[in-house]
Amino acid sequence: MSGPVTIALAKGALLKDSVARFAAAGLDFQAVLDPGNRLLMVPSACGRARALLVRNADVPVYVAYGQAQLGVVGYDVLREHQLPVAELVDLGFGGCRMSVAVKASSPYRRAADLPAHCRIASKFTRCAEEFFEALDLPMELIHLAGSVELGPITGMSEAIVDLVATGRTLRENGLIAIEDLFHSTARLVGHPLALRLDDGALQEIVDRVASASAPLS
């Protein structure tokens, strides 16, 4: 392909491990970790690629629309937004789980115990809707962009559906996870047309990242 490969990298929790994984694949994006960096498009040290620094939820958008040929994004985002990108490699880091949580004092210990038509607060309403539809349990879903833990605390919702890593935030707010929807890790994704038209440059990066991501035997 002509010009550098553009790779969308998620700011925040996934960034450091993403940079390390690409470094193992021969692409140096270390500059994006510089606290003084204010650039949103950063070339690799070798000039063969460049990184777009975007929010996790925006990674598949840039890849789907072709502004980035590759990207690193959490599986939770792929499940929630369901954009037309190709999932290429499970990178193995950024592990967490999508869970149903309730107040620790609640009588509910399984998602199926929740009463029909109760309120569920979540940033991930599509994931929540699919899960409860599979249980044949009708719910009123409330979309929140911020701290969903406040739903049960304030009485606005009986439960939440949210990402859980260590569970510390839940515990500190008097909540417990009662059931997992799925586990999530960071994934390397690609633009389907760019991959089909690839002259080998993209596949070389994908193969190197895959090799760097493979567990040691």
Q: How far apart are CA 190 and CA 139, in angstroms?
A: 34
pTM reported for the whole predicted model? 0.92
Confidence check: pLDDT of 65 > 80? yes
For residue 126, what is the enclosing H or E element?
helix 125-134
The pLDDT, as a whole number, for residue 1 is 55
First to last CA, the chain: 34
Q: How far apart are CA 54 and CA 111, in angstroms?
A: 34
Q: Categorize the per-residue pLDDT at 212 as very low, low, confident or very high, splitting at 50, 70 and 90.
A: confident
**Sign of the dihedral through C-alpha 50, 55, 59, 62:** negative
Average pLDDT for 18-46: 89
CA proximity to 73, closest of 154, 115, 11: 11
Q: How many CB atoms lie within 10 A of CB 30?
A: 14
Mean of per-residue pLDDT scores for the chain: 94
* SS3 state at 105: coil
Q: How far apart are CA 19 and CA 93, in angstroms?
A: 12
The pLDDT, as a whole number, for residue 217 is 44
Q: Categorize the per-residue pLDDT at 138 as very low, low, confident or very high, splitting at 50, 70 and 90.
A: very high
CA proximity to 195, closest of 185, 186, 204: 204
Confidence check: pLDDT of 178 > 70? yes
Confidence check: pLDDT of 152 > 60? yes
For the chain, list the domains and their CATH numbers.
5-94+185-213 (3.40.190.10), 96-182 (3.40.190.10)
* SS3 state at 10: strand
